[in-house]
Chain A
Amino acid sequence: MDAVDRNIINRLQQGFPICEFPYTQVAAELDLSESELLQRLTHLLETGVLSRFAPMYHAERLGGGLTLAALAVPAERFEAVAAIVNAFPEVAHNYARQHSLNMWFVLATEQPERVVEVIELIEQQTTLTVYNMPKQTEYYIGLKFEA
């Protein structure tokens, strides 16, 4: 990753235009050719530096369900429980964290009522208590990282 890649990553986190030739427009801003931008973007995605390049949909405004939930998993069962949780397509992210609540996952569902169903299924299959922590107020979401 060089300075050009970093410029691309920083620019593409800001928002991508909706127009006939959007890559041409962004490439011009970055003083690149369209083909070089596409080549580098493809490489950044293939190598996993970027996990996605796509519209970021707002789950609640789509009428879906979204929550953050946590589990206190005994160390010897950690991998088995992770496999159970990750097997649900509704689990969008799952992180191991240093705490007695050591597994934190985000559930995103098309139907809001499905959140509670998935939580119940995870509780049944893991025999653990799921601590459901849906957001009550969003103060800020930016999620931009300077490359």
Chain B
Amino acid sequence: MQFILTAFDRELIRATQKALPLTPQPYHALAAQLNVPVLQVMERLQFMLDHGVIRRIAAVPNHYALGYKHNGMTVWNVPDTEVDSLGAQVGALPFVTHCYRRPRHLPLWEYNLFAMVHGKTQQVVDAQIAEIAALLGEFNLGHEVLFSTKILKKTGLQIGS
């Protein structure tokens, strides 16, 4: 589903994508900045939230700072006929933060199912990986885990800037 943005929506996105104002009435602050009534700001944000254009208004932690130093991108080769069913099951595991189907690049890259796992210790992450492997069972035709060694850049989405 695609959503047609109004000119005001774009202004609102530009004004909010990096930060929400840290003042007692943040939506009033945005309204003053954009020179519109506060109801227009609140209604448009609520509309975008209701339609999934905004996933949520929320804090994004630096997971390294919270102690999650072991971050594995687990990648799995599963049959294309099973990937949707298995992806939904893997995505439902409580420790998986993202789960996607992505294209293979044969012969170099045979993996079509990606699931991100995070832990404060290597043992925790190893147990999570074993749990995914057990869930996939015979449909696990091969997997690897790519641990991140460094954040080279993290700015988040920047639209219309």
Binding site for B on A (CB under 8 A): 8-9, 12-16, 18-24, 34, 38, 41-42, 44-45, 47-64, 68, 82, 85-86, 89, 91-99, 101, 103-105, 108, 110, 131-145, 147
Contact = CB atoms under 8 A, between A and B. Distances in A.
A55 B100 contact: no
B5 interface: yes
A51 B98 contact: no
Given A13-B61, A50-B62, A62-B159, A95 B54 contact: no
B160 interface: yes
A51 B56 contact: no
B7 interface: no
Contacts, number: 245
B159 A59 contact: yes
Contacts of A14: 56, 58
B56 A15 contact: yes
A97 B149 contact: yes
Contacts of B59: 8-9, 12-13, 16, 41, 44, 50, 52-53
Contacts of B55: 56-58, 141
A86 B57 CA distance: 26
A99 B155 contact: no
Interface of B: 1-5, 13, 16-20, 22-28, 38, 42, 45-46, 48-49, 51-63, 65-66, 68, 73, 83-84, 87-88, 90-92, 96-103, 105, 108-109, 114, 118, 144, 146-161
A56 B102 CA distance: 22
A140 B19 contact: no
B109 A131 contact: yes
A59 B55 CA distance: 10
B144 A99 contact: yes
Nearest to B45: A18
B66 A9 contact: yes
B36 to A, nearest CB: 15
A140 B91 contact: yes
A64 B105 CA distance: 24
A92 B101 contact: no
Given A58-B55, A131-B109, A139 B91 contact: yes
Contact of B99 (A8, A16, A86, A139): A139
